[in-house]
Amino acid sequence: MNNAVTGFSKLSKEEKINWIAKEYFSTPSEAIALLKNYWNTDEKIQKLHDEFIENTITNFYIPLGVAPNFLVNGKYKTIPMAIEESSVVAAASKSAKFWSTRGGFKATVLNTEKIGQVHFIYKGDVSKLSLFFAQSKSKFFQDTESITKNMQKRGGGILEIVLKDKTDLLPNYFQLHATFETKDSMGANFINSCLEQFAKTLKEEALNYELFLETEKNIQVVMSILSNYVPNCIVRAEVSCPIEDLQEKHITNPQDFAERFVQAVQIAEVEPFRAVTHNKGIMNGIDAVVLATGNDFRAVEAGIHAYAAKSGQYSSLSHAKIENGIFTFWLEIPLALGTVGGLTTLHPLVKLSLEMLENPTAKELMQYVAVAGLAQNFAALRSLTTTGIQDGHMKMHLNNILNQFNTNDDERVLIQKHFKLHIVSHSSVVSFIENLRK
């Protein structure tokens, strides 16, 4: 492509596809056929998907799996997981079954406060700004009543608005820092609408404030936006049992296993290079459930990783201890989730996933997401401190390699039989396939 394309968004879906196929592919007809092969045969569902984003040309499928046997606060749950990575669902399921006979997962929502900020520049006397805010604060609540009315009926709304002086970070930089309760909705649109009204009220009230000089009245609002860092929207998930109850096939010495497990977690607490990979494993479980339930996994990722670095050094999200013969493993993470609004009411598979979870509240969904992350982390650390992760992971990855080389049914039977007894690696599978085909 040598020149920019103009008017692309105004082209029909067919025209977009034809342009892309001719511009980038040596065999346009094959590219067009592949794109159309992933369209949903139900035109109504396809139209729904087409309108989720802009310039849609096809659907990009990610498998939706389920992890059964999660005993959460005394009730069994089957957790939906949308993810493309091998072994994640299997590992979560294995952990769920392991802990289902050892008391299950305990999950608690500690708080649900969400945050939004109006960032602005004020060049003037800080004491006058503080007095202005104190005298005008009630007006911010009054001017957003039409926005907050329905949310208040559900028990939510604006919790507090405070003025923050950030001039130690940037010259003349201040914030209106607001906290919200959004109940079962994630609340992004609600929060941002409130913030934009705050900004409007701030500027209007400043212009009429008699104590401000003319130069002080001209408050410059830079932006009004929610924060995906929600350190006061926290859920805790944990498992615990007597050390001797940890014994199973791969844990023949439970005391030694518990001590090695705690050491592995402690390493992730103090070593950022390990902590990043450790937390990535937790996010394998968390993101999969967040995606399956139509929530914003990018926002969740950003907020959780910021929380992992709240001490000034990136650290483990999970923790473990041995105390009085009891092994305990837990995590506390920030999660801003919703079960109403957005994709939750539009995407058919999101609705199915939420129904599978028995239509949870936002608080209940926070608990299920957290236990999925903890289960995934337990599975990884159990493997790392016992048999190692590669054997199980590569056996799960075997199917991907077989698909890559278009193996037929007869070949698959022979290959899978061979690798039940041998270590799976990409090179060893390729070599076996090549020898088989000779």
Residues marked as catalytic: 85, 280, 296, 393
Residues 6+ apart with CB under 8 A from 397: 86, 87, 424
Select from 379, 309, 313, 323 the least CA-distant residue to 81.
379
Q: Are 321 and 328 in contact (CB under 8 A)?
A: yes
Nearest-angstrom CA–CA distance, 284 and 302 = 14
Give one DSSP letter per residue of 351-400, joined into a string: HHHHHHTTS--HHHHHHHHHHHHHHHHHHHHHHHTTT-SHHHHHHHHHHH
Question: Alpha carbon 215 to chain centroid distance?
Answer: 44
SS3 174: strand
SS3 308: helix
Query: What are the tokens at 107?
Result: 């999950």
Nearest-angstrom CA–CA distance, 130 and 173 = 14
HSE-up (13 A, CA, CB side) for residue 327: 22
Nearest-angstrom CA–CA distance, 117 and 349 = 34
DSSP 103: T
Q: How many residues does this entry show for the chain? A: 438
Q: Are 376 and 81 in contact (CB under 8 A)?
A: no
Helix (H) or strand (E) holding 347: none
| Strands across the sheet containing 106-109 | 106-109, 234-242, 326-334, 318-323
SS3 232: coil
Nearest-angstrom CA–CA distance, 106 and 73 = 5
Question: Alpha carbon 212 to chain centroid distance?
Answer: 45
Nearest-angstrom CA–CA distance, 212 and 65 = 60
